[in-house]
Amino acid sequence: MTHADRKNLFKGLAFCSPWLIGFLAFTLVPVALSFYYSLCDYTLLQNPHYIGAENYRMLWNDHVFFKSVINTLEFAALAIPSALGISLGLAILLNVKIPGQSFYRTIIFVPSLVPIVASCMVWLWLLNGKLGLVNILLAKIGIQGPSWLTDVLFTVGSPPDRVSYYWAMPALAFMGLWSVGQTVIIYLAGLQDVPQELYEAAEIDGAGAWGRMRHVTLPMISPVIFFNLIMAIIGTLQVFEKPYIMTQGGPARATYFFTQCLYENAFRFMKMGYASAMAWMELLLILALTGIAFWSSKRWVHYQGK
Amino acid sequence: MNLNKIAPRILTHAALLLICAGFLLPFFWMLSTSLKPLDQAMEFPPRFIPRTVPLYTYHNKVTPLPQNYYDVITSDRFDFPRFSRNTLIIAILCVTGTVISSSLVAYGFARINFRGRGVLFAIMLATMMIPFPVLMVSLFSIFRFLGDHTPIQFLGTFKPLWIGSFFGSAFNIFLLRQFFMTIPDELSDAARIDGCSEFAIFWRIILPLSKPALIVVGLFTFMAAWNDFLGPLVYLQRPEQYTLALGLQAFQSQHGGTPYNQLMAASVLIITPVIVLFFMAQKTFVQGIATTGLKG
């Protein structure tokens, strides 16, 4: 290492030191600590004491925990594709050069700024079974809407294995569509970067609107779709505020998600060690799903030659 | 122009108008309910426009302030002035910390070519994948430990909510680095020849050129702090420390039968500052979001 190299290393580390310290104190140590806690019996009242893999064994047999994992995955399967699909559709519409374009863009974007707690209050009111605006509008076209946050959607099987699905889960996914603004903006930026020549070339080759979409737009913006997918996975797997505030995880734990399970075990039941094991499961789940996304991206994400 | 050209544009307008109406409806409904007296808010079928808007009367003089808003601001269940003050204190500390620390770190990553930079940067990006819920149990115990073993208390104070922002946040470092990289190297080289220290280059040349990016980071941070719910829920203990988000949730859950008109008025009060901020810096803001998604 030359003198200049050493000087640069020193300077670089000096500038990066706030993050380096923060990374150690607020990420690395907590992650390591949470692994240690996950192997401990640790209530807030006494010091952690080592019990090996007992917490993980208990997790394996914990129906409530499993329910929360399944719910979270179901919610992700419902919310992620619908949000990504609809925001792509919106972005395509908002990319058409027409007068009033920036006005439309602003309106679609603004709801994503609404603080999540306020958004929960508004939707509690909108989804109200009797007086909610959603049901009033549905009534106008002759549909009687359910009590969205409490009613059963459908039931499968017969007792004792009867499983009920509730409207609350799709209702939460639906209200998420109101705040897709940021995703739409990111899509739009991607759409604007598609070179116009490609569309002209495709048109000369006889491609219709659908052909241009399928063979030009989608491949060209696939890195942006991928980025939005990753962000959506990370965001959806930790969903907390909406169910916690609007349904308290109900009805019958139908919207009881991972993070609420973790939160309640840690701060309501004071089972900090057990909750740490859950935290590790959550981290692994996020890693696994983003890992699958990365693996699949080789097949559908096209990067322009760099 | 022939019909073939016009028809798609008209269809696009029609679709967008319909969708925009849908996106605006919740705002409209919230505003409308927030102005109604309770009996009108709960009447069936409801009206879109309030029949009457009761206004707050002070010493027999009618003020322009709707009664519901007055009731919310002075309510003993929703201490609006105190919650706003708490939220503002936390948000301002977070903004200060994030802007200072993230720009320093971003400068290091963007403009100094040192060994191991690539690895460190990759690690930093990877930390964005670790969500707060995963860390909250151990962070809580760390803050508790510090409170037990040092004279400084953390739990039940605002500190855990802002202290981390003084150590850079991955997302904002990334955003600023992207911006710093677009500034020509010649500027720094010229300053270096004139005998500027690295810090002086950062402070006197790069920062003044990066105002739009710094504003975006500041806005993002402010909004994140304003919106945060889980953090305050974990760390704050006494109601007088609540932030607006936490206070609104408490307001809603403490009432058995929620008076929706007041709840909507409180929501309007919490939403307004964010929307106003957005419109003040709209262009910078949208560009900021777009950059994060593209240059990854």
Which CATH number fits the domain that encloses residue B224?
1.10.3720.10
B74 part of a folded domain = no
Which amino acid belongs to residue B290? A
Do the bridges between strand B61-66 and strand B55-58 make them parallel or antiparallel, or are there none, so unpaired? Answer: antiparallel
- For residues A223 and A190, give the distance between their C-alpha atoms in angstroms, rounded to a whole number: 8
Q: Do B61 and B86 fall into the same domain?
A: no
Q: How far is C-alpha B255 from the chain's CA centre? A: 27
Between vectors from CA A19 to CA A16 and to CA A23, what angle results, nearest 5°?
135
- Answer yes or no: do B200 and B280 share one domain: yes
Could you tell me if residue B9 is inside a domain? Answer: yes
Which residues of A, range 195-214, sit inside 8 Å of B by Cβ? none
CB-CB: which of B112, B138, B173 is closest to A30?
B138
Of A130, A178, A240, the CB nearest to B26: A178
Subunit contact B227:A262, Cβ cutoff 8 A = no
Residue A211 CA to residue A82 CA, distance in Å, equals 23
Tell whether B9 and B61 lie within a shared domain. Answer: yes
B224 & B269 share domain: yes
Contact A96 B227 (CB under 8 A): no
Which residues of A fall within a CB distance of 8 Å from B138?
A: 29-31, 33-34, 37, 276, 279
Examine the domain organization and report whether B114 and B172 are in the same domain.
yes
The answer on B165 and B243 residing in a single domain is yes
Domain coverage including residue B52: 3-67
Q: How far is residue B58's CA from residue A213's CA, in Å, rounded to a whole number?
A: 62
Q: Does A109 contact B at CB distance below 8 Å?
A: yes
CB contact under 8 A, A11 and B116: no
The model's confidence at residue A306, banded by pLDDT at 50, 70 and 90, is: very low
Residue A16: which of B120, B132, B141 has the nearest Cβ?
A: B120
Note whether B19 contacts A227, CB cutoff 8 Å: no
Which residues of chain B are within 8 Å of residue A226 when distances are taken between CB atoms? none
Whole-angstrom Cα distance, residue A6 to residue A207? 57
Contact A125 B101 (CB under 8 A): no
In a domain, B73, yes or no: no
Contact B164 A94 (CB under 8 A): no
Question: Which residues lie closer than 8 Å to A166 by C-beta, 6 or more apart?
Answer: A150, A151, A152, A153, A251, A252, A254, A255
Domain membership flag for residue B278: yes
Q: Which of B211, B31, B173, B274 is nearest to A109 (CA)?
A: B274
The domain tally of chain B equals 2
Residue B238 maps to a domain = yes
Give the residue on A whose Cα is nearest the Cα of B142.
Answer: A30
How do residues B172-192 score in pLDDT, each as one tens digit? Answer: 999 899 889 888 888 888 998
pLDDT computed for residue A145 by the predictor: 87
A 130-149: CB under 8 A from B: 130-131, 133, 136
Whether residues A279 and B137 touch (CB distance < 8 A) is answered with yes
Residues of chain A with C-beta less than 8 angstroms from the C-beta of B167:
18-19, 21-23, 25-26
Minimal CA separation from B61 to chain A, in Å: 32
Q: What is the largest CA-CA distance in chain B?
A: 79
- In chain A the domains, ranked by start, together with CATH numbers, are 63-300 (1.10.3720.10)
Q: pLDDT per residue over B117-157, tens digit each?
A: 999 999 999 998 888 888 999 999 999 989 888 898 888 89
| Same domain assignment for residues B63 and B201 | no
Q: Which of A48-62, B84-98, B205-219 has the highest mean pLDDT?
A: B84-98
Amino acid at B225: A
A244, A158 contact by CB (below 8 A): no
Q: Assess: ipTM above 0.95.
A: no
Q: Which of residues 250-279 of A touch B (CB under 8 A)?
A: 258-259, 262-263, 266-267, 272, 275-276, 279
Q: pLDDT band at residue B296, thresholds of 50, 70 and 90? A: very low
A282 vs chain B: nearest CA distance in angstroms?
Answer: 7
Same domain, B115 and B36: no
Q: What is the pLDDT of residue B292?
A: 59
In angstroms, the CA A301 to CA A223 distance is 6
A122 interfaces chain B, CB cutoff of 8 Å? yes
Does one domain contain both B22 and B159? no
Domain shared by B57 and B120, yes or no: no
On whether any CB of chain B is under 8 Å from the CB of A294, the answer is no
Answer yes or no: is B72 within a domain.
no
Q: Is the torsion defined by CA of B229, B231, B236, B242 positive or negative? A: negative
**Statement to judge: residues B29 and B87 lie in one domain:** no
Percentage of residues of chain B with pLDDT beyond 90: 50
Q: What is the pLDDT of residues A77-134, one digit of tens each?
A: 999 999 999 999 999 999 988 888 889 999 999 999 999 999 999 999 999 888 889 9
How far apart are alpha carbons B215 and B217 in whole angstroms? 5
Kindly report the pTM of this predicted structure: 0.90
> What is the CA B28 to chain-centroid distance, rounded?
22
Among chain B residues, the shortest Cα distance to A268 is held by B234
**Is B182 among the domain residues?**
yes
The H-assigned helical ranges of chain B are 3-35, 38-41, 67-74, 80-111, 117-127, 132-149, 159-162, 170-181, 185-193, 198-200, 207-209, 211-227, 230-235, 244-254, 260-280, 282-294
Asked if the C-beta of A18 comes within 8 angstroms of chain B's C-beta atoms, the answer is yes
- Are residues B152 and B33 part of one domain? no
Percentage of chain B beyond pLDDT 70 is: 95
Helix locations, chain A, DSSP H:
3-23, 29-38, 54-60, 63-95, 101-109, 116-126, 133-140, 168-176, 181-192, 196-204, 209-212, 218-237, 241-246, 258-263, 272-300
